[in-house]
Each structure stands twice: as structure tokens, then as C-alpha cells.
Structure 1
């Protein structure tokens, strides 16, 4: 048993969007280190499979909560259920999120309002609910999954890029507020990652996807997990992604937007 596993035994991590991609890989890392898990996603079948897998392999407790975070009442329902069950959450991972692709005046409004609910409102709501208890207890950790998209506007994915900019800004701000409380906040900002995200966002033909090799979800999760456990405020997996995020600061804004448009365009 390593030191991290020893310290985490008996602690509980809640992970949203845990049925696949980065969320699943993060859940596996927490399970490996002995955390009990609360897994949240829309697919009951996938969550049950993961719960069985992790219980057998890691000997931990796994609770599943089938919720769609596009529904505004979902965060309160999750929090209330755990309060009633007497389950204390030591780690909150806000991973759930999705994107959409196309010109804003042509894309579906309902889909984008749901995106705002999941990527921004639901994340903020869950953070508010669980953070208050963490501060009162003097300990806790929150990981908010943002994106490399957070560092610049994104024509053809205007709403998605804006939501991730919010997540990064929000996370850095409350991390500063929480200094000295025993609670830490980390924003994970991965670049393009192999997952179901691109297909759901209907952006498989964009140059962002086709012109470069994407990192795999397991690698992103491992880098994010290490940074999170060492209390880094912002984690950007991959040297190339770090350089791109830094370069935006020194590039004229109109040029940044033009480059972003070019990268997001179809091949």
C-alpha cells in the first residue's frame, strides 16, 4: 500500500461524467488509491458495469447515481441523497460536460442551453453545495475539468469555448479564496483527447481533430490526477498544449481568434 492509498482509505470521491473517457479513467485512479466512489452519469448500464469492475478489482465501495446534469434540479437531488445517506464527500470531480459544433446562428439553442447547464451551472451548483461542508470540516479537494479551449475564443464552437473559459476563471478565483481553509481547487485543461466528445459534438471532421494526434484519456487522467494530488491550481497535460496556452498571452487577440477559427474549421 503506497502513501497516497494509505491516506485515502475510507475517503470518498464523487465524479460526474464517470461512464467513459477522462471521467472513467480518473475514477479508476481514485479507486486504485483506495477511495470509495460515487459515480454520476446518465447511463445506468455503464455505471453498473463500472461499479462491479471496481468493487471486484479494488475492494472499494461504489455508489452510482443516475442523473442528467442538464436538468437544473440534478445537483440538489445528488447532494440531498448523499446527505440523507450520511455519506461525506472528500473529493468532488466536476468532469461532466459536452460541446457542439457549427456557426452559432445555425446551431440548436436547446442543445446549447443544456450545455450551459451542464458545463457551467451544474458545475457551479455542485461546487457550492459540497464546498460549504468541506470548508466547515477544514479539508477537501475539488477538480474541475476545463479545457485547452479555455484560453481563447473558439469560432465554430463559441459556446463550448466560453463555458470552459468560465470553468478555468471560476476555479482559479475560488482556489485563491480558499487559501488557508484546507480545501484546494484544481482546473484540468486538456487539449484534444480521444473520447466520445468529438462524435457527440459533431466535430470529427474539424482540423482540430484530424490534423493532430490527440492524447488518450488515460494519459490525460494520470497527468491531471498527479497535478490534482499535488495541489496544482491549473494542470495542462502535454508540452504542446502548455506552449499553446502560454502563446495566447503574447499574441494579438484578433490573430488568436483567426487562428482558432482556422483550427476549428473542417479539413
Structure 2
């Protein structure tokens, strides 16, 4: 495939969920490539620590905006804050999100609502609000604008025991694919990133303890993401990890009831109940 190196130098990238894990990975990679950053997440101390690191290592100017994007009105506040600072976002990485493990009947309804608010509503609202900025950047600096939405290998099938999380990531995947088709002719780099299990804080927050033989590192996922962005025409989604990519394809052709049972068993293997 033809390569056109993604070059965000001289632009500003917004990374949500930037305080840890894949969000920090994106921030570091974008800073190394010359972008300034807007870093947002709930934990201000971690964001400020990251901003100092990026400034010292790459000379990056980072704007820190601590915010809980699951809170009603948070996206509107964030966009208004960006406009008040005269910041035009050239790259948007919708990384913020979380999951929770457990059967629907035993789950907390407020927690489920928060998952949908963050994983789906905030991502959709922020994309809608900042897409004009991305397209403006694309016109002014071809090859320097991108949209990356964090999906998951959970997006390819229902996920028993993580039903809400799997459903939110299916939305992210299909939404991003449609947006890819709508913007492809204009040259905006759009892709959904679909990692499997990654060595981050995600599992602890979800109540899911990895027992998988193969767990990706943040660096693994960053290589997948930026290899895609360095293509002249990135695919609508990319799966990180060769084994994960094979499994995602296989699930699509298996009988639906069989795949549901298989995924449910795999999901159960990743969980350790308290006291065990």
C-alpha cells in the first residue's frame, strides 16, 4: 500500500483519556512527531506530569484540561474552552472509555449509563463538534489531520459478561467506518483502533484480571495505529496483534450461537472473583 507519512508537526492534537495507558502512548507518539497537545482526563496531576515530560523531551506545548467527559455537558465545556483559547484541533484521538465485567442482571445501572455516556455519547459529540477543525487543518496542511476512535476486538461480536462494553465498542466501530466512507475522498485519515487485551489499567477498572497468554503492550498498539496513519489511505479499522486480527475475522464467519458461547467462555476466563 502507498505510504504517506502522517506528519502533524505544527498542529494540535487532542487526546482524551490521556492520563494513562494508550492515551499516554498516543500523546507521546504525537509529541515525538511534532504536534502540540491538548490532554484531557479526570486526573489533573497525571496530565500535568505528562505535559512536563513531553515539554522536556520534545519541546511540546501541552494544554491540560482536567474533565470527566461522562458528565453531562462536559463535551460542550471542553469545546468552548478550546475556542476561548483559539485552539484548532488537527488530530482527535477519542481514547477515553472503560468497561465493567459482570452479568447485566447483577450490574449497576448507573455504571452502565456512565459507560454509554463516555464510550458512545462523548465520543460522538466530540467528533461532531471538532470535525470542522480537522477538515480545516486538512485543507491548510494536507496529510496532517486525523481521527482515531478507540474501538476493541470486543466490537466484532456480542460479549457476554461485558455486554454494555461490547455494545459500545460495536457502535464505535460502525460509526467510524461510516465516517471513514464520508470523508475518504477529502483525504482525512480516519480509523478505528481495535486492540485486544493490553497491559494497562483497563482490566483493573473493569474487574477483569488477565489470564490470557498474549497481552499486548502500549507500544504494540501504537505501532499498529501509526502504521495505519502512515498509509496514504488508512483502512476504516485496524486490529492490533496478528492473532487478534485472525480471531476477529473467524468470529465473523462462525455460526452466531457458537461464537456467542465461545466469546462468553473467553470472557469468563479473564475474570477472577473476589477471594479466588
TM-score range, shorter chain: over 0.9
Q: 1-side partners of 2:117 and 2:44: how far apart? A: 21
Matches within 5 A, 1:49-88: 49-88=49-88
The two structures have a TM-score, normalised by structure 2, of: 0.90
The equivalent position to 1:258 in structure 2, one of 243, 256, 261, is: 261
> Structure 1: 5+ residue runs without aligned partners?
none
Q: How much does 1:144 deviate?
A: 0.2
Q: How much does 1:222 deviate?
A: 2.2
Q: 1-side partners of 2:156 and 2:111: how far apart? A: 23
Q: How much does 1:240 deviate?
A: 0.3
Corresponding residue number in structure 1 for 2:146: 141
Q: 1-side partners of 2:54 and 2:249: how far apart? A: 38
The two structures have a TM-score, normalised by structure 1, of: 0.93
Q: Is the 8 A contact 1:4 1:33 kept in 2?
A: no
Corresponding residue number in structure 1 for 2:31: 31
Matches within 5 A, 1:231-250: 231-250=234-253
1:25-71 deviation per Cα after TM superposition (whole angstroms, max 9, x unaligned): 11100011111000010001000100001001101111111000110
Aligned-residue Cα RMSD (Å) equals 1.5
Corresponding residue number in structure 2 for 1:217: 218
Matches within 5 A, 1:143-162: 143-162=148-167
Q: Is the 8 A contact 2:15 2:40 kept in 1?
A: yes
Q: Is the 8 A contact 1:26 1:225 kept in 2?
A: no
Q: How much does 1:132 deviate?
A: 2.6
How many residue pairs were aligned?
260
Q: 1-side partners of 2:49 and 2:189: how far apart? A: 31
